Amino acid sequence: MRTILSAVACFAVLTSNIEKMEAGLILSDDFNSGVGVGTFQSIQNAAAIGDGVPGFLSGNALHFGRQNSLTPFAITNALDVSSGGTISFDFRGGNENVDGSSYWENSEGSGEWVDLAYSTDGGLNFVNLFVLDTEADQGENPTVWNSANIAIPFAAQTAATQFRFQQRFNDGPSFDHWAIDNLAVETPDISAVPEPTSIALFGVSACFAGVGAVRRRRRGDNSQNEVGA
């Protein structure tokens, strides 16, 4: 009975620590079940597609440029990033020589790149934060998905900040495709007080001694992922 109670106590401690580590995740969407209701305030010329289609990661991604002739963009809901944090995502542009032109027609020139911007005034004005080169990996085989993890600058740290992905120009529904996946916004967990390493290690060791030992999902696609932006 004492062993069972110890195991339950250990589980409670470990669960508490996991909740603290995840407390700063204020937006997360892998688009596998479509676009999450709380993810974007508005999207245009975009759809959650790709499961089983060449060139996508496992499951769906938010794919832009195939729905109509309007400028492709996605604007998040207002997020409280007043304590700072990061915005992270996977991104790729078209690479028709590898994956075909139905979903991955190439962009041509910097005029068709994608800007990540932020707004602190309800979407009236946006300030560019990061440029996504839709041509960077043309010709790569296998296709490259780049991962970005961008610090939210001080000027963007408000209680109601929005982020926007928008292509500068698009030639129409059969051209200039791109996609994002695994979008996340995280803020520091200022309420969690880290335990000294030695104490944490001792606690884990003590919990599982005699009880039995019981680890970011590795993303995969039809080809290998690569990090870089």
229 belongs to a structural domain: no
125 lies in which domain range?
Answer: 2-208
pLDDT of residue 10: 45
Beta pairing class for 178-186 and 61-64 = antiparallel
Instruction: Give the chain's radius of gyration (CA, Å).
Output: 21
Alpha carbons 92 and 55: distance in angstroms, whole number: 9
Structure-block tokens of residue 90: 């996977």
Name the percent of the chain lying above pLDDT 70: 72
119 belongs to a structural domain: yes
Whether pLDDT at 36 is above 90: yes
pLDDT of residue 213: 34
pLDDT of residue 191: 62
Number of domains in the chain: 1
214 belongs to a structural domain: no
228 belongs to a structural domain: no
Structure-block tokens of residue 141: 């085989």
Whether pLDDT at 46 is above 90: yes
106 belongs to a structural domain: yes
Alpha carbons 127 and 130: distance in angstroms, whole number: 10
pLDDT band, residue 35 (cuts 50/70/90): very high
**Three-state SS at 108:** coil
Residue 187 sits in a domain whose CATH number is 2.60.120.260
pLDDT of residue 193: 52
52 belongs to a structural domain: yes
Residues 170-197: tens digit of each pLDDT:
898 889 999 999 999 999 976 655 555 4
User: What value does the mean pLDDT of the chain take?
Assistant: 82
Contact 91, 150 (CB under 8 A): no
**Strand (E) positions, the chain?**
25-29, 40-44, 46-49, 61-64, 73-76, 86-93, 114-119, 127-132, 146-151, 162-167, 178-186
